[in-house]
Structure 1
Amino acid sequence: MFVRIVKMSFHQDKIPVFLEHFHSVKEQIRNYPGNNFLEVYQDKSNPGIIFTYSVWNDETDLENYRHSDLFKEVWTFTKTLFNDKPEAWSVDKLVTLG
């Protein structure tokens, strides 16, 4: 399993805009070939910071998504709402406890 974590920082007034747009595309992202899981988190102390957590079969699946028209549309829209540069981590899942 391959995990992608993206940290995005938004202007306060843009958070509802982001969430509305995300809700309109979340099923498409989640159902993209190779995606197994998708969650969004909001920082408790700074609500302008939002993380996406997605699980992919492998790096190739993520790269296919990142070169898709869907990603281009989502990212083009989303990055206009940022107040700071996004950060991203690609990690391998080592342990899961349920």
Structure 2
Amino acid sequence: MLIRIVKMNFELNEIDNFLSIFNAHKQKIRNFKGCTHLELLRDVNNTNIIFTYSYWESEQHLEDYRKSELFKDVWSKTKKLFNNKPEAWSVERVETIE
């Protein structure tokens, strides 16, 4: 399993636009082949910083999504709303302590 974390910084006046884009596509993203989990997170102190947190069955599944028309459509609309370059990490779980 691969965990993908994407940090996005938005113009404050564009957050509602991003949320509309995300809400219109979230089920398609979550149901994309290989995606097993999707979350949207917001920084509590800087509300213009939003993260996506998703689980993928493999790196290839994530790459298939990133090459898809769905990703191209969502990303082309989203990247216009940034006020800073996005950051992304692909990580694997080492340990869970509950």
Same fold, TM exceeding 0.5?
Answer: yes
Distance in 2 (alpha carbons) for counterparts of 1:84 and 1:58: 28
What is the TM-score when the length of structure 2 is the normalising length?
A: 0.97
Matched, 1:14 2:14: yes
Q: How many residues align?
A: 98
User: Pairwise mapping of residues 1-98 of structure 1 onto structure 2 (< 5 A)?
Assistant: 1-98=1-98
Q: Which stretches in structure 1 are left out of the alignment for 5+ residues?
A: none
Distance in 1 (alpha carbons) for counterparts of 2:42 and 2:94: 24
1:97 deviation in Å? 3.9
Tell me the amino acid that sits aligned with residue 90 of structure 2.
Answer: S
What is the TM-score when the length of structure 1 is the normalising length?
A: 0.97
Distance in 2 (alpha carbons) for counterparts of 1:53 and 1:30: 11
* Structure 1 stretches of at least 4 aligned residues deviating more than 6 Å after TM superposition: none
Identity over the aligned pairs, expressed in percent? 52
Structure 2 counterpart SS, 1:60: helix
Q: Which stretches in structure 2 are left out of the alignment for 5+ residues?
A: none
